[in-house]
Copies of this chain bind each other. A is one copy, B any other.
């Protein structure tokens, strides 16, 4: 097996590209794919301050590393979700990465800062953990980016993630989510406060890389990431959709990429009006000022409902068959 570029010994084969690469050219391949994603989808401008959502997993650490390699001003943010040993190890991996490179890593701890955690929220609401987890992460990262003056939030969603979310959105024809599933979401101003950002720009620079590739990238770059999957995501729909697509990809390499990028090229715009409908209904949350369609935003309602309750151990919150009921476009499993 030889490298497609230099003919030296290859360390990885990429079936969908019908190519093998040595370590150096694989790392270059990864950087090139990120450059291309950033360019094609107007993700980051030179000089932008980037806030990277860091879980401690392979995707977010590879993303942070790649953005730094490419010369971007990228700081990290990690959220302690309170999912037992899994969260402890995730945060430790994120911290180790940042300390080794003397990087700025902003930290929020759900239990310390808001007096709840994901297992407790799941138990108290009776909903799947992915629901309160995605909600919490979106809210807190958006807010940190706005408060911290970052131009853009970058998340580690890879091609497998995006294809699986797309599959879920298509299976249910969630037209609003389909209208919003893009690798770049532009920043938005509130209707009542023109010129004031209520949502930061959000980008997914890894959409051209698979999770196998981000894992290989970390190994070759000597990045220690947490290998375990979230114990609460087990059996959720997102993972099932990944498995179904993996079976298709296995028989037809490139199928996943064609599915996702074909959607962006030929279908996404047809659903954009469905997402815009909700945009028009946004107003400021009466508690925290975050954009919401109700009086009080979903995050403040969650904190009000579950904050202050005694912690429920992970082991007592069983993932329910059927998984997340209303997965939002672009929500990752967990971190």
Contacts and interface: CB of A to CB of B under 8 A. Distances in A.
Contacts of A170: 170, 259
Interface in A244-292: 244-245, 247-248, 251-252, 255, 258-259, 262-263, 265-267, 270-271
A17 interface: no
Q: Chain A contact residues (Cβ within 8 angstroms of B): what range?
A: 20 to 34
B248 A247 contact: no
Interface string A222-248: 000000000000000100110111011
Interface stretch (A24-32, A52-60, A171-179): A171-179
A182 to B, nearest CB: 15
Interface string A31-44: 00000000000000
A8 interface: no
29 contacts: A170-B170, A170-B259, A171-B258, A171-B259, A171-B262, A172-B259, A173-B259, A173-B262, A173-B263, A173-B265, A173-B266, A173-B267, A175-B266, A237-B251, A237-B252, A240-B247, A240-B248, A240-B251, A243-B247, A244-B244, A244-B245, A244-B247, A244-B248, A247-B247, A251-B321, A251-B322, A252-B322, A270-B270, A270-B271
Given A170-B170, A171-B259, A173-B259, 14 more contacts: A170-B259, A171-B248, A171-B262, A172-B262, A173-B258, A175-B266, A237-B251, A240-B247, A240-B251, A241-B248, A244-B244, A244-B248, A247-B247, A267-B271
Interface of A: 170-173, 175, 237, 240-241, 243-245, 247-248, 251-252, 255, 258-259, 262-263, 265-267, 270-271, 321-322
